[in-house]
Chain A
Amino acid sequence: MKKDLTPKERMAIERVKMPEQDPGRRIGNFEEVNRGLTEELAMREAQRCLLCKSRPCVAGCPVRVRIPEFIAALAVGDLPEAARILLADNTLPAVCGRVCPQETQCEQICVRGAKGDPVAIGYLERFVADWALAHPDKLHGEERPSPTGHKVSIVGSGPAGLTMAGELARKGHAVTLFEALHDTGGVLRYGIPEFRLPKRIVDIEVERLKDLGVEIECNVVVGKTVALDELREEFDAVFIGNGAGLPVMLNIDGENLKGVYSANEYLTRVNLMAAWRDDMPTPIIRGKRVAVIGGGNTAMDAVRTSRRLGAERSIILYRRTEKEMPARIEESHHAKEEGIEFILLAAPLEILGDENGWVKGLLCQRMELGEPDASGRRRPVPIEDDTFVLEVDVVVNAIGTRANPLLTATAPELKLNKWGNIETDENGATNLPGVFAGGDIVRGGATVILAMGDGKSGSKRIGDYLGGEKATYPTRPA
C-alpha cells in the first residue's frame, strides 16, 4: 500500500459506512448493532485524515486523545503503535468508540467536516480498541510504576471511577474501588444495553484495571456500608463518582400503575439482571405497545429495548422537536430503522389504568415551541384543548435523573449546589481536603465521556494533592 498520499488523494476517499446488523434481524436479538470495521476499511478511513497542523479534534475530546497520531499509525497499518497511543490517553477506548457523541465533539470540528464528511474518528477508535482487546500479546508492554505509598479510594465504578482508577494506578498509587451494586461498570453495566455496548467489553476493561493492581470491592454502599469519613481516615484521598442515580418522577396521575417503569428500573432489569434472557429469573413486563417518555440516549436505549422484548408498537414521546433531542444522531437513526415511532411536540398528562391497576393508555398534550429557555432551546408550550390518548400497556419514564442523596446526606459538611450535586472547582476538588468528585454526581445527568474526562483531569489534581499539597492541609477537617 502506498504510504504517502497527497492531500488531494486523501480528500478523494469517501467516508466509510459502519457495517450494521440488518434492522429486521436485529430487533429479534440483543447482539451489537454496529459490527465494526474491517482492517482494510479502517486503514482506508484513516487515510482520509489530513494530519492537519491545527488538530482541532484533540481539543474536542474530553480526555484529549492524540487522535491524529493514532490515526497516522493506523493509516500505515502499525496497529501496536496506534493501540499504544490510544490506550495511553484513554482508559476505556472500546467503550468510547461505541458510546461517545463524536458528532458534537472531535468529529464536529474535524477540518474535513468543513467540506464534506469528517473523519470517522469514533469508528477508528473502536477498531483500534477492539484490535487491542483481541491481541493483548501484540501490545507494547506497560511498565508497572513503582508504588508511591499513597492510598486512594474511589466511590463508584462507572466511567468516572474506572478512568480515575486507571490513571491513578498507572502513577503507582494504591487504588481501591467501591461499587454499590453486585457488578462493576455503573451505567455501562446497568444502563447501556448489550446491543450498543456488549458487557464483555466492560468485563475486559475492568480486568485490565485489576491487572494494574486496582482492588475492586462490590456491594459497598458508601454512605450506608461505610461512611465518607471512614474512607477519609483510611485513605489519603477519596474520589466520589457515584453518578446521578435518582430518577426524576413525572409527578402525574397514574404513575404508580403496574406497567409504569423508570428508565433506570427498566434498563437495570434488562441489562444488569439480564431479564431479556429466557434462562434468567428476572421478571419484566413485555408490553405490546410501549411509550417511552423523553428524547435522550436513555430514552432511545429503553425504546429500542422494548422493541427487542417483542413490542409491536414502540413509541418515543418527546415534548420538543427532533432538532432539540439530546440523543446521539446515530441512536435516533438506528431507532427509526427499527420501526420506532417518534411522536414529537407532545407531553404526558396522565397515565390511564384499567380496573385491575394496569396501564391501558397515556393521555398526551400537544405542544408548540415558544421562546428559548435558559438552555437556549425553544421552550415547549401546551396548545390549549389539544390532547390525545395513546393506547399503551407499558410506559417508561426517561425524562432524566438527579443526584442520588444516599452518600451526600450522610456527609453534611460536603458542599452541594441547589440541585444536590457536589460542588467542585474546575479540577474536581470539593470543599473538603482530600475529597474529590466528578461525573454525574457533579454535572447532573451528562455523558460517559464527560464523566471520563472528569476522571482523567481529576486524577492529575489528586496526583498534585498527594505529591505535596496534602502536607499543607490539616489531616482532618477543622
Chain B
Amino acid sequence: MFEVLQNVTLAPNVHRMVIRAPRIAKARQPGQFVIIHPEAGGERIPLTIGDADPQAGTITLFIQAVGTSTLKIANTPVGGSLRDIAGPLGKATEIDIWGRIACVGGGLGTAVLYPLAKALADAGNEVTTIIGGRSKPFIILADELSAFSDTVLIATEDGSLGRKGFVTHALQELIDDPDKRPAAVFAIGPVPMMRAVAELTRPYGIKTIVSLNPIMIDGTGMCGGCRVKVGDETKFACVDGPEFDGHLVDFGLLIDRLSMYRETEAKILSELPEELREKITKVKR
C-alpha cells in the first residue's frame, strides 16, 4: 500500500498528490511515469511522475479526474492509500544542452511538462515556457514554472488569463523573432495540441519532442497495447517512450487507437451516480 501524504486541488478536478513510495523516489528520473492500480479489481492508470524526493521517499503526481478510476485516485484523502504503484517506467528524458528552448504545456500536460522543463533548465538551457488551457482556472503551475523559466507565456481560449488564443500562436511569434527562436521544442498536452505544435515547427526543422499517452496495461513491454507508429517503426510507448520525435509520430493513428474503448467508457460513465458523472463531464470536452 502507498500512503497519500498530501492532496491539493490545483484546478477543477486537477490534483497534486504527494505519495510515499521510497523505491520509486530513489530510482526516478525526469520523464518517467508510474502505473497506479488504486484498488483490487481496478484499472491500471499510467501517470507521469511530477517530482520526487529520494530523502523523504516521496513522489509527486498530478492527476486529472476524467473517469471512474482517476476520480477514485484523485479523491483519495491524506492518510488514505493506493493499493499498487509500479515504476518508475519508461525512458528518462534525454537532457541535452540546446541553448534556447521552448516548453509548451496544455491542460494537465503542463504538469507532465514541469519536471522535464525543470531538468532542462537545471542543465543550463534558456527556457521559455508556454502554457495553455480553456480558461483561467485550467492554467496550472504558472508560479512553479516561473521559478526557473526565463519567460512564462500564458494563452487561454477565452482570454480570461494571458493572451486569448492557443499556445501555437505564442510559439509562432517566438519562432518568427530571430532573437527568440528556440533550438528545440518540448510539447506535452492533448494529442491535437502536440500535433499542431509538431506541424508548426516542421517547416523550420526545429527538433520537437512530444510525450505520448496511449492506452497501456502493464507498462513493461509485455502486452504491446500502447504501440505507436514513429517513422516507419512500431514502438511501444511504455518502454521505448513515452517521449518521441514529434515530426515522426503518426498522431492520426494515436488518436484513433485512443478511441478504441470509447463505447465502454461511455457506458461506465452513464452508470455512475449523477453527481460523480457531472464532476467528470464538467472538465471533459
Known contacts A226-B23, A256-B229, A283-B264, A269 near B86 by CB under 8 Å: no
Which partner residue on chain B sits nearest A219 by CB separation? B86
Least distance between A287 CB and chain B CB atoms (Å): 13
Q: Which of A193-201, A245-253, A422-430 is near enough to bind chain B?
A: A245-253
The number of A-B residue pairs with CB atoms under 8 Å apart is 102
Q: Tell me if B84 is interfacial: C-beta within 8 Å of chain A.
A: yes
Q: Chain A residues near B223 (CB, 8 Å)?
A: 247, 262, 264-265, 268
Contact with B along A400-440 (1 / 0, CB 8 A): 00001110000000000000000000000000000000000
How many angstroms between the C-alpha atoms of A220 and B239 in the bound complex? 15
How many angstroms between the C-alpha atoms of A180 and B69 in the bound complex? 21
Contact with B along A178-208 (1 / 0, CB 8 A): 0011100000000000000000000000000
How many angstroms between the C-alpha atoms of A108 and B190 in the bound complex? 58
Q: Are B227 and A256 in contact (CB under 8 A)?
A: yes
Q: Are B23 and A220 in contact (CB under 8 A)?
A: yes
Q: Chain B residues near A281 (CB, 8 Å)?
A: 41-43, 68-69, 268
Known contacts A255-B234, A281-B69, A283-B261, A404 near B86 by CB under 8 Å: no
Least distance between A185 CB and chain B CB atoms (Å): 14
Q: Are A274 and B41 in contact (CB under 8 A)?
A: yes
Q: Tell me if A138 is interfacial: C-beta within 8 Å of chain B.
A: no
Q: Tell me if A85 is interfacial: C-beta within 8 Å of chain B.
A: no
Q: Are B218 and A180 in contact (CB under 8 A)?
A: yes
Q: Are A182 and B86 in contact (CB under 8 A)?
A: yes
Q: Are B220 and A180 in contact (CB under 8 A)?
A: yes
Contact with B along A239-273 (1 / 0, CB 8 A): 00000011101000001101101101100110001
Q: Chain B residues near A405 (CB, 8 Å)?
A: 221
Q: Tell me if B282 is interfacial: C-beta within 8 Å of chain A.
A: no
Q: Tell me if B147 is interfacial: C-beta within 8 Å of chain A.
A: no
Q: How many residues of B contact A (CB 8 A)?
A: 39
Least distance between A222 CB and chain B CB atoms (Å): 10
Q: Tell me if A218 is interfacial: C-beta within 8 Å of chain B.
A: yes
How many angstroms between the C-alpha atoms of A225 and B79 in the bound complex? 24
How many angstroms between the C-alpha atoms of A283 and B83 in the bound complex? 20
How many angstroms between the C-alpha atoms of A313 and B68 in the bound complex? 33
Q: Tell me if B106 is interfacial: C-beta within 8 Å of chain A.
A: no
Q: Which of B7-15, B122-130, B198-206, B252-260 is near enough to bind chain A?
A: B252-260
Least distance between A206 CB and chain B CB atoms (Å): 15
Q: Are B234 and A225 in contact (CB under 8 A)?
A: no
Least distance between B74 CB and chain A CB atoms (Å): 16
Q: Are A247 and B84 in contact (CB under 8 A)?
A: no
Known contacts A221-B220, A246-B222, A282 near B256 by CB under 8 Å: no
Q: Which of B24, B83, B224 contacts A182 (CB 8 A)?
A: B83
Which partner residue on chain B sits nearest A181 by CB separation? B218
Instruction: Please list 24 pairs of residues, one from A and one from B, whose beta carbons are closer than 8 Å in the complex, sorted by A's number.
Output: A180-B218, A180-B220, A182-B86, A220-B23, A221-B89, A221-B220, A225-B23, A225-B87, A226-B23, A245-B218, A245-B222, A246-B222, A258-B256, A258-B259, A259-B260, A262-B224, A265-B223, A268-B222, A274-B41, A357-B256, A404-B220, A404-B221, A406-B221, A406-B239
* Further pairs besides A225-B23, A246-B221, A265-B217: 11, Cβ < 8 Å: A227-B27, A247-B223, A249-B224, A258-B256, A264-B222, A265-B225, A281-B41, A281-B68, A282-B43, A283-B261, A406-B220
